[in-house]
Structures are given as structure tokens and as C-alpha cells.
Structure 1
């Protein structure tokens, strides 16, 4: 990576100028995904700055989601290019035995895995019960998963399903079978009508940041989906996405 000089006449802080140089090298692929960035000591020598300034420059790139710090090893370009999350067809292919996440990952040619963190009967937040049309205090089937691409967490999702639909069925098992829980609902005769999704951006909770292994200062996308089938809500899925790992793609009719 070629080193550019600091412009002493610039009104941009020195650490931000260094961060700009490193960002440009990443965008040009002079520093490819997974590549190690110059160490703090190297930046101190190359730019003639203090270690604090060098660390602040690298921290800017961490906050921007371009770089990760690995304790005891150094600073590395983040490996994960954004996944294009499809708005259409991602649920329709359950008839082929493919869950929506599988459809997205295959379309993006990504290596992926799913970790089932919890499956069981339990409580749901009041807002979820309202979306499901259930009385306060109702128990539901709860499914929590973490999704990974190239071994890195990118998505954390919790599904809430009414017990009259999920309890005592494969929906309440860690592996519900080909096509996921929606396919199992169709096995019961449910006909899906629509999926209502609400997406907001926010900072993660401490637990979400831990589960997704997020760098400090990384925002997330919070997506809440209500699946409606045969005239009733059959699932609420509360999903937290690493915002740097996804592009939300929508194709709307003219």
C-alpha cells in the first residue's frame, strides 16, 4: 500500500486523513478482504504521528464497518461483502425445500450456516402477542437462530408461533425439516397470503452486539415480519441484521 502524506493545510483532522488513505486503499482493493492493515507502529513511523493518533485512525474504520480488530493479532479488512437480501421469491421456494435464508445465500454464492440457539415454549413480548392476536400472557413456540456467512455472524432472529400451530409439531423441533417452518405450516393446510415487514435502523443492545460479534459503534437493521396465512397471523419473526453485511433489495411494480 502506497503511503500518502498528511496535508498540514487541511482543516481535516490528521487521524481522519490517515483513515481516508486507508479507506481508499480498501476501496481500490490494494487491501483486499481479510488483509492485515499496517500496525499502529507502522502508521506512527510512516506518518510521523503519535500512537494515539494512529489508533484513532484505525478506530474510525472499525466504526465505519470496514475493519475489524483481532486481539493480539492486529487490524484486518472485514471479509464480508454485503449480502443482497431479496424481497421476492425468498419465501416462495420453500416448496423446493429451501428456507428463505438459504435462498438469499445461494443467490449471493455465499458459504453459510445456521446455529439454532433455542427452541421451546415460552413467553413473548406484549407487542408480539398483539401482532399475533393473542391474549396477554399467552405462551408461544419460540425459535432463536444465528445465521453466519463464511463463519461470521450476520443475522440473529427470533420467531414466535402460536402454540396451536407449533407445539407438538416439527416446528417445535431444532430442525423443522425441508423448507423450514412455513413448509410445515403448509403441511397443516395453511395458505400464505402475505408477509408484512417493518425495518428500522438503530444501535444494537449489548446482547445483540455480542451475538453478532459487532465492532463498537456498528448499527443494526431491526426487521419485524408478520406472516399471515389463511386469514390469521401465524408467526412474528424479530430479526437483527448487521447493517454492514446486508443490502435490502426490493422490486416494486410500476
Structure 2
């Protein structure tokens, strides 16, 4: 197009590249034409070529690899299945709730357990006075050493003090099995989801590429008596997950 054709703007160049990606002409993992290639093909200056690539980066379609070039993003989904993962037949028999998920299963890279004053929103959900002590469990989950999820769980300290929930290793069945042993078996759950752009510390922790959103899930666990026993704030790499929900017309 640089030979006598009308010069294209960066949006039109981005549109053509996007169409090539969507059609499969440019396949996942394949290298995308660089700035110099676009300058030659479309007869544009470097700022225009760069802005065209930036559009696709901000849309999460391509990813830049330092010293190598720009590539079509590969999407290898981690399937998070609800509500199967929260059923008693999973954690109640000593299995992790992760075992209900299909395909790749993230592994915890480390667990930090602290006692802290409850933040106002957590205190509200747990029915506590603001500043009441809560046990906080922070974990980062990874697949093949790539962090994909940050999880922070809050438990009323008066319910779980002295239990394995205050330890890094909660034992078979995890925290829900320990809550059941304490007489506070989780039986009902509520999850609220939203997508947003990551905070800087989340971007760094999850090693997110430019333009990658996160999925924020806030799960609250209740006993049969409607006592809230856990608030779990999860931040998921939006480029890594498929969220699957199963329900019937009678649910």
C-alpha cells in the first residue's frame, strides 16, 4: 500500500491486523509484522505503525516480547467450574476444591497467614464490627510457574483461632473441611464477579501483559444457619481463565 496508494491511519492498519488475527491468517503464537514491516507495507511513519500495534496490545490481542517482537496472544484456558468445585462431595472427602476444575489445575506458590483488623467491607459482609480481628490467608496460584490468580480469604478470628486454618497447611480438604470440623460447615455460597483493569501490584504479581484485564470474584461462604464464615477475594488473570457455571431451570 506504500506504492502510490492512499496512506492509511493507525486505526485502519490495526483493523486489518485484527481481521487477520480473527480469521486465523495470523495464528496464536505467530509473530506479527513489526513497526518497520508496517512502515514499508503501508507507507507510514514509525509513530503511526507503533500506534497501530499499541491498539492491538491494549485490546489484548497481541503481546510484545522484549528483544523478540510482537506475537498473537495464545489463549490456553484454565477452566474454573462452579458450582461443582464448592460441593461437599469434593472438599468433604479430603479433596481440594481445585480438583473439580477441568484441565490445568493451578498450584499455590506460597501461603501467608496473618491476623489483622477487618477492613470495613469485609467486616460488613461477615457481620463484624469494623476492626474486629480476622484471620487472613493470602495465596498466589500458578500454572507452570506463571502466576494466574491472587486469592485473599478472611475468616472471623473468634471462629477459627487454634485451628489449622491459622496455619499455612490446612490439611486435606482445605479450610472448608476445617470449618466443618469446627461446626461451621459451609453450605451456601454467593459469588460476585466483575472485570476491571489491574492495579499496579496485581499487574506485577500476575506478570500481566499490556491490555490484560483481571476478573475479580468475591465469594462469601455461609453455614446452614446463614452465618458468614469466609470472604474470599480472588483476582484472576483475564487471559488465562474460562469461567463455567452449571445450573438447571429449577435452581
Aligned to 1:144: 138
Distance 1:167 1:78, change over 3 A: farther
1:135 to 114, 129, 138: 129
Displacement of 1:15 in angstroms is 2.1
**Local SS of the residue matching 2:28:** coil
The CA distance in 1 between the partners of 2:93 and 2:72, in whole Å, is: 36
Q: Paired residues, what number? A: 244
Aligned to 1:22: 17
In structure 2, the gaps of 5 or more residues are none
Displacement of 1:192 in angstroms is 2.3
Q: Which deviations, in whole Å up to 9, do the C-alpha atoms of 1:188-244 show, x marking residues without a partner?
A: 333322111112233322222222222334332222111002421110011122333
Displacement of 1:176 in angstroms is 1.6
Displacement of 1:131 in angstroms is 0.9
1:97 to 94, 99, 119: 94
2:201 to 207, 230, 253: 207
The CA distance in 2 between the partners of 1:190 and 1:33, in whole Å, is: 47
Q: Which deviations, in whole Å up to 9, do the C-alpha atoms of 1:130-156 show, x marking residues without a partner?
A: 111122211111111222234433321
Give the TM-score taking structure 1 as reference length. Answer: 0.83
* Residue 183 of structure 2 corresponds to residue 181 of structure 1: no
* Residue 119 of structure 2 corresponds to residue 122 of structure 1: no
Q: Which moved more, 1:224-233 or 1:25-34?
A: 25-34
Distance 1:21 1:201, change over 3 A: same
* Residue 67 of structure 2 corresponds to residue 72 of structure 1: yes
Displacement of 1:161 in angstroms is 0.9
Displacement of 1:30 in angstroms is 4.2
**Local SS of the residue matching 1:56:** helix
Displacement of 1:111 in angstroms is 5.5
Aligned to 1:225: 219
Across the aligned residues of Structure 1 and Structure 2, the Cα RMSD in angstroms comes to 2.6
Give the TM-score taking structure 2 as reference length. Answer: 0.84
* Residue 155 of structure 2 corresponds to residue 161 of structure 1: yes
Distance 1:9 1:247, change over 3 A: farther
The CA distance in 2 between the partners of 1:225 and 1:190, in whole Å, is: 16
Moved over 4 A (4+): none
